[in-house]
Structure 1
Amino acid sequence: MFRLRPTFRRLVVTTAAAGMLALAACSAPATPDDAAGAATLVVATADEPEALNPVLNYGVDGASLIFDGLVARDADNRLIPGLATALPAVSPDGRTVTAKLRDGVLFHDGTVLNAQDVVFTYQAVLDPKVDSTLRSDLDMVESVTAPDPATVVFRLRYPYAPFLQRLTLGIVPAKLLTGQDINTAGFNRKPIGTGPYTVESWTPGDRLVLTANERYFGGRPTNNRVVVAFVADDNVRAQRMRAGEFDAAELPPKLAAGFDPDATYQVQRVPTADYRGVMLPMGNPVLADPAVRRALNLGVDRSAMVTGILGGAGDPAYGPIPPTSEFAEPSTNGTPTADPAAAAALLDAAGWTPGPGGVRAKDGRPARFTLMYPATDTLRKDLALAVTADAKKIGIEVTPAGLTWDAIDPRMKSDALLMGYGTPYDPDFISYKLFGSQFAGQGYFNPGSYRSAATDRALQDGRDQTDPTRRKTAYAQLQKELAADAPWLFLTYLRHTYVLKSSVQGVAPRVEAHEHGVANSLWWNINTWTRA
């Protein structure tokens, strides 16, 4: 059974870490009085990684600050060479991918990167003894070999159109992990990479301190150190930002808006592919009726959610492919405001008639269901309450339930769940397993057990085709099928909001993924930031 790591979860600080957080709240990260432009930069985020090892899912989409992949992404998320001298070459049959490595790239300990390090990294991900959540993402890899120290060859079981985008995975040094249990290796907390920063220290629940890599092949960072402060509480993070402890902080939209009037700060509202929506399980007798699912899609007021809950820092969502993507299909967009009259008419036609208390019923079954959300996530709670209120207006009774993840997990096949996902990189990522019939009910792969032959064909065509036009056609069809079947109630795309001191320069926002903690966040290029 496959199990997708629930990356949409907000990490919960342990009791011990909470103690560290309380201590950290009383003492700001030390910021030496460096020369302007070479300062220590202090940034704050809510989420702390579980390990700093790419094999174990750290920074796999690039921008990890500590590691580099064979390829990287620029400010527009386009692929560019990383550790490879050029974008890897793909054979005419799409099954052989060859990468040539740069000369003289050094790991932080001074050893030279070679092709065996790349082979080891990918073989570690594929090793069933390693607890890597990436294995299923690379199930097309038949073998990875190094015919010489500067060449890596991937042999694929089948052509896979977006394979080059999987090569952002950070490369680890084989000599430090060979023969070790990667799941528990000390390397996971004090890693050695090739990236622009080395790890100086990591205090769980408090901070990660990074030091400039003087020998970085891409050029020495413009600053000396980066301190990433882990502050789980949004309000505490905002208070410490206003107190001057941070140069930049990730904050919820409403808290970030409070900094707008102050010229000593700049607020960045970054477009994302990060959506929130309600997974509607086919195993629920009410939600199994497509009329109910379609009525909910008509009945929710996405515009009000963006304005009232997100403070304008978002966009209405109608599917899993963001409006910023070249694969977006505008024809599947609904109306951002609610249409309760149309929703009611649809339910009437399907035999769901109003009953006591305004709750509709069909064949003696009331139109009611439970909507779960993680109790610690205030944004999802607010969205769940908004869905509850909108559903009531069309005669559907929703009971919101804030639960722990342990309580949520066994109920996903029968109870709705406020979820979050999203990637700006390729439509195949996430969607193939989230909506594919073969993954129905497999943990966080397609937890609602949605099955559709037409959707499956579109998903498969999207990953099989190499021609961009044919891929776009496939993903347009995918979006049309999802809009018709409504296995999810898509609500909003978020804009990730950050507050920075106005003195910080060099910031280059790009469309972000769902995950945006230490890696893939606004500080993806922090090695080029300076302070005026």
Structure 2
Amino acid sequence: MTARTVRGAAGATLAAALIAGVAACSGPGVTAAAADAVVVGIATEPESLSPLLGYGKDGNSKIFDGLLTHDADMKLKPALAEALPEVSADGRTYTYKLRGGVKFSDGAPFSAKDVVFTYRTILDAKTNNASKTELDAIEGVEARGEDTVVFTLKYPYAPFAERTVLPIAPEHIAGAQDVNSGDFTTRPVGTGPYVLTTWSKGEKLSFRANPGYWGGEPAVKKFTMAVVKDDDVRATRLRSGELDGAILPPNLAQGFEKDPARLGAPPSGSWGTYAARTFDYRNVTLPTHHQVTGDVAVRQALDIAVDRTAMVDELLEGAGKPAFGPVPTDSPWFTAGTERRHDLDRAKRILDEAGWKAGGDGIRVKDGVRASFPLWYTSGDKIRQDHALAFASDAKKAGIEVKAQAGTWEVIEPRMKTDAVLAGGGSPADPDFDQYLLLTSSLGGDGFNNMARYDNRTVDRALDEARRSGDPAARKAAYDTVQRELVKDPGYVFLTHIDHLYVVNDRWEGLTTQVEPHDHGLGSGPWWNVESWKPRAK
């Protein structure tokens, strides 16, 4: 999409964009001052920088390239391939001709064998890549000479080309070490526009421009991603000049818009704000292994007891949309008629009819079980905290006690089987990318896939039909089935889809935004194309 650059925007315009609580701030020793340097903030960092373990699988990894990439409008375009793939009539064979003259940052030539190595390694059962089911359609991948790669699919998987934005790893380095624990996981070598120079975990990732990049050496010579979570600290360091860019919630971004002189302008220019549409949602997992959230009646009641519109208006200041599933209401994949109206009276009736009767303190009880469960959200994430508290407040009105509490992922993850979590997700590329990992019963309890351990046979069949069909109408019908089942049998309560808002030092040209996924920060934001930025003429 084309970036919407906002300067001095009114509150109504700002309400069209927001942040998900992820991204941005510097740590000790991070300074954003050099004329050819950019420092931006991220709230989380990857566990690994190896694409073999999942890093950069949706593109924009900076260190690596895929066969294809996305432009600003999220349309596929060639990267390491010289053109879009040739697809056989039956939709089961994809042939890629590779770009000539490309080298890895260590000077070694890139060729078809690196592509084959990357995909075969990810699909290897010994590789700890939680996203390998995304490549389930691949039957085989082979090199034909140095410059051609052919994928053969088990079935005509319609969005397969979208999967080939996956970064390519060098066989001569990654293939000579343990895929799960070797040095390549923290000292990667790729063909991308930047080379990692240092990674101080918990503090920053630093990159320098790759002088041999096939797309031309970037004008931004040094690029740093600073790691910090707190919104207020992020804004403070942005004002002080330690950061060139940050993602901020609307109340803090408005401060930069309304009175930049008082709040502090960047040392070498003014501020610009950039709004991005997203597929980024917040939801509450309803674990099937908990005696309260495992009850379908409780899930149905919670799904209509929540006031999604109030959450958008009050928590997001209008910067988002009510969410009724992983698909935003403005997507062509959304199933009309699956919107859930806030209806507290009906929620109470559902619980009454299911035998959940109000106790003396107003909290319902059934067969000696109190309608109470914990809801975890990640520490330092104000957006999740606000959603968790609002959800708990709405649930209490229906007679259900939700005990919201903060913790790190290290604390939360072991509890996900029985405890609810204020979670997030969303992928704009294709509905399969998000819904399969989120909902298929075969991935229940597989890390952060299907965190609720949702188990619905009708949904399982529809998800398989959708990913195995090359017919757009058949795929739409299958995803309609999924969304209608989520009304009858909610495994999650979807709350909001959140837009993202960024504040950036206005000394560079070429900044745009894309339609963004949930995981934004490393590869998204106005710096998704930092390699194309140019200094603004003075």
**TM norm structure 1:** 0.88
> Following superposition of structure 1 onto structure 2, how do residues 265-276 of structure 1 map, counting pairs within 5 Å?
265-276=271-282
Task: Give ranges in structure 1 of 5+ residues lacking alignment.
Answer: 1-8, 13-20
- The aligned residue for residue 360 of structure 2 is 356
Q: Conserved in 2, the CA contact under 8 Å of 1:25 and 1:236? A: no
Cα deviation, residue 324, structure 1? 4.5
> Following superposition of structure 1 onto structure 2, how do residues 60-459 of structure 1 map, counting pairs within 5 Å?
60-262=57-259, 264-335=270-341, 338-459=342-463
Cα deviation, residue 279, structure 1? 1.0
CA distance in 1, matches of 2:350, 2:131: 42
For the aligned residue pairs, the C-alpha RMSD in angstroms reads: 2.6
Distance change >3 Å, CA 437–CA 204, structure 1 → 2:
closer
Cα deviation, residue 226, structure 1? 1.9
Deviations 1:202-235 (A, max 9, x none): 3333333323333333333243332222233332
Deviations 1:239-266 (A, max 9, x none): 1101122221123343333222145322
Q: Conserved in 2, the CA contact under 8 Å of 1:277 and 1:490? A: yes
CA distance in 1, matches of 2:520, 2:460: 29
Cα deviation, residue 26, structure 1? 5.5
SS of the equivalent of 2:429 reads coil
Distance change >3 Å, CA 207–CA 439, structure 1 → 2:
closer
CA distance in 2, matches of 1:369, 1:28: 42
Q: Conserved in 2, the CA contact under 8 Å of 1:64 and 1:520? A: no
Q: Conserved in 2, the CA contact under 8 Å of 1:257 and 1:267? A: no
Q: Conserved in 2, the CA contact under 8 Å of 1:247 and 1:504? A: no
Distance change >3 Å, CA 111–CA 442, structure 1 → 2:
closer
SS of the equivalent of 1:331 reads coil
Q: Conserved in 2, the CA contact under 8 Å of 1:283 and 1:414? A: yes
CA distance in 1, matches of 2:259, 2:66: 39
CA distance in 1, matches of 2:503, 2:22: 21
Amino acid at match of 2:103: L
Cα deviation, residue 105, structure 1? 1.6
Cα deviation, residue 415, structure 1? 2.5
Amino acid at match of 1:334: R
Cα deviation, residue 134, structure 1? 3.2
Q: State the percentage of identical aligned residues.
A: 46
Cα deviation, residue 515, structure 1? 0.9
CA distance in 2, matches of 1:276, 1:314: 11
SS of the equivalent of 1:268 reads strand
Distance change >3 Å, CA 407–CA 518, structure 1 → 2:
closer
CA distance in 2, matches of 1:464, 1:127: 21
- The aligned residue for residue 11 of structure 2 is none
Amino acid at match of 1:123: R
Distance change >3 Å, CA 192–CA 469, structure 1 → 2:
same
CA distance in 2, matches of 1:347, 1:49: 42
Deviations 1:165-191 (A, max 9, x none): 111111122222232123333333332
Q: Conserved in 1, the CA contact under 8 Å of 2:22 and 2:520? A: no
Distance change >3 Å, CA 456–CA 179, structure 1 → 2:
same
CA distance in 2, matches of 1:228, 1:411: 31
Amino acid at match of 2:309: S
- The aligned residue for residue 4 of structure 1 is none
Moved more, 436-445 or 45-54: 436-445
Aligned length in residues: 508
Deviations 1:64-94 (A, max 9, x none): 1121101111112122222112222232333
- The aligned residue for residue 18 of structure 1 is none
Q: Conserved in 2, the CA contact under 8 Å of 1:270 and 1:509? A: yes
Amino acid at match of 2:96: A
Distance change >3 Å, CA 363–CA 177, structure 1 → 2:
closer
Cα deviation, residue 307, structure 1? 2.6
SS of the equivalent of 2:225 reads strand
Cα deviation, residue 10, structure 1? 9.7
Q: Conserved in 1, the CA contact under 8 Å of 2:230 and 2:380? A: no
Task: Give ranges in structure 2 of 5+ residues lacking alignment.
Answer: 1-19, 261-269
Distance change >3 Å, CA 105–CA 388, structure 1 → 2:
same
CA distance in 2, matches of 1:241, 1:132: 35
CA distance in 2, matches of 1:289, 1:330: 26
SS of the equivalent of 2:279 reads strand
Distance change >3 Å, CA 526–CA 406, structure 1 → 2:
closer
CA distance in 1, matches of 2:200, 2:367: 58
Moved more, 403-412 or 501-510: 403-412
**TM norm structure 2:** 0.87
